[in-house]
Amino acid sequence: MYCNKCGAQLIDGARFCSGCGAPTVAYVGAVGVGTAPSAEQEKYKVMDDVTSRLNSLAGGTGSVKLRFGDFFDSILKKHTREEAEELFVCGTNATTPPVNEVSADWPHPWLYSRVFLVLLATFIGCVVLGFELENLNAFPGIMFVGAMVVPFSLLIFFFETNAPRNINMVDIVKIFFIGGIFSILLIYPLSSVLPGGGVGLIVPSMITGIVEELAKIVLTAFFLSRVRGRGYILNGLLIGSAVGAGFAVFESAGYAFNALLSGDSASMLENIVLRAFLSIGGHTAWAAVEGAAMGLCEKDGVFDWRILVDKRFLIFAASMILLHGIWDMYVLFLDNFGIIKYLILIAAVWVFVIVLLNRGLEQVNELADRPKGVDAEASSNVAQGGISPTAVESVVAVAGSSDAQVLTGIYCPKCGTKHAEGERFCRGCGMVLS
């Protein structure tokens, strides 16, 4: 395919000519030229504005591309036992890499899917044993394993995305259990200070959100303060998710047990399945955001309890409290559509997660003194903007090479598309490169 304006050969999928910047025929047909922005374009503009504001609050620049697909593109690939074992071998003095050797690649996690399948298979086995074979001894397993399926799988997801690899799995499991149960215990004294919590109405729902999020914040802060060595934003994301996952498991198992006590085993099973699905965007993700917010407020990676009154942390924490409160309250125009409200809230919290994950990877690059937009499939594909208004030539010395082999590449500062030497216009967005 060739450009109609200058005759330059076009790369398949290019939206603009890299020689003259003219839009390609395919792109013109898709979006039109000289027309008002389509609804889809407006949607992306709004999302860019949202992620840009959140990224700015987190200390970054530019909008953040929501790369949800990268969280799933490796789960169908074949992985060896050695790969899984390597993921778990970390967090000790001997296995924690120095920051300049840390991979800040945008994550493509996969182990969480295997953990999910193991827990799901165990849960299904318990259900068959309890309901089909009428073995009452299986009901505790149905409740607890069913409550673990999604939250614990999410915890493994955040473990995989902790690029510094400075926290081991033994500590994470400890935080999962101790942080989970003690955050629930902390609800009781907090409720005596802020009584009136509940669900349905606005005020009780918001009080519940405040109390439960404060409880998780305290436990997350406690465990974050005990991280050995330098702390990272990604550490907060992981530790917060561990506390939140533990909280979610104990809470869901308790609700299931109450349903069983009412004499309705089918209601118990329905409760477990529904709460498992909804936990994708519940306590685990909320606490992860709060933990990451603590991490970004740390000065030189050192925890200080005063970060809990830092303006940036308070904004992120208040956002999670608001999401939690809306989750619990009856919203007339949304609750009439069943699960729609929860899907919107799940999407909202994951926008926060991705922005903070991106910022955490940027932090690793900054500490390793790497040029921005180089590492990890060129991080500039993720964080758009924040680079000089001309094309950027990125240079990385290969870690561990005595000869310091150098790799080069040119990336568009606006959309992050990689280009060869000599291209004058970005084929992704049409921006002038030189």
pLDDT tens digits for range 2-15: 676 666 777 776 77
What was the pLDDT predicted at 31?
Answer: 44
Residue 383's pLDDT is: 35
Q: Provide DSSP, 23-52.
A: BPHHHHHHH-SSSPPPHHHHHHHHHHHHHH
- How many whole angstroms separate alpha carbon 52 and alpha carbon 60? 8
- Structural element, H or E, at residue 410: strand 406-411
Q: Average pLDDT over the chain, rounded to whole?
A: 84
Question: What's residue 352's pLDDT?
Answer: 97
Q: What is the DSSP string of 187-201?
A: HHHHHHHS----SBS
Are 384 and 372 a contacting pair, CB within 8 Å?
A: no
Lowest mean pLDDT of 139-148, 296-305, 385-394, 416-425, name the range: 385-394
Hey, what are 303's tokens? 């925890």
* pLDDT value for 425: 67
Highest mean pLDDT among 257-271, 348-362, 390-404: 348-362
* Phi, psi for 235 (deg, rounded to 5): -65, -45
Angle between helices 311-328 and 202-224 (to 10 degrees): 130
Radius of gyration for the alpha carbons in the chain, expressed in angstroms and rounded: 24
Give the residue, 298 or 368, on which the prediction is more confident.
298
Model pTM score: 0.78
Percent of the chain having pLDDT more than 90?
63
Confidence check: pLDDT of 427 > 70: no
d(CA 388, CA 77): 37
Higher pLDDT: 383 or 327? It is: 327
Highest-pLDDT range among 48-62, 184-198, 337-351: 184-198
Where is 393: in which H helix or E strand? strand 392-397
Q: List pLDDT tens digits, range 214-233.
A: 999 999 999 999 998 889 99
What pLDDT score was predicted for residue 205?
A: 96
Average pLDDT value for residue range 290-314:
96
Q: What does the pLDDT read at residue 63?
A: 86
Measured CA to CA, the distance from residue 183 to residue 189 in angstroms comes to 11
Q: What pLDDT is attached to residue 410?
A: 64
Residues paired with 411 in a beta bridge: 392, 418
Summarize the confidence of residues 336-340 as an average pLDDT.
Answer: 77
DSSP 398: P
User: Are the C-beta atoms of 324 and 209 separated by less than 8 Å?
Assistant: yes
Check if the beta carbon of residue 406 is closer than 8 Å to that of residue 370.
Answer: no
Write out pLDDT tens, residues 368-409: 875 544 433 333 333 333 333 333 333 333 334 444 333 345
Convert the pLDDT of each residue in 313-325 to its tens digit. 999 999 999 999 9
The Cα–Cα gap between 185 and 256 comes to 19
Question: How remote is the C-alpha of 232 from its chain's centroid?
Answer: 15
How confident is the model over 147-202, as pLDDT tens digits? 999 999 999 999 999 999 999 999 999 999 999 999 999 999 999 999 999 999 99
Half-sphere exposure of 267 (CA within 13 A, CB side): 9
Read off the amino acid at residue 241.
Answer: S
Return the percent helix, strand and coil in the chain, to nearest 5.
60, 5, 35
| pLDDT score of 309 more than 60 | yes
Would you state the pLDDT for residue 411? Answer: 65
Give pLDDT, residue 252.
97
Quote the pLDDT of residue 391: 33
CB 363 within 8 A of CB 237: no
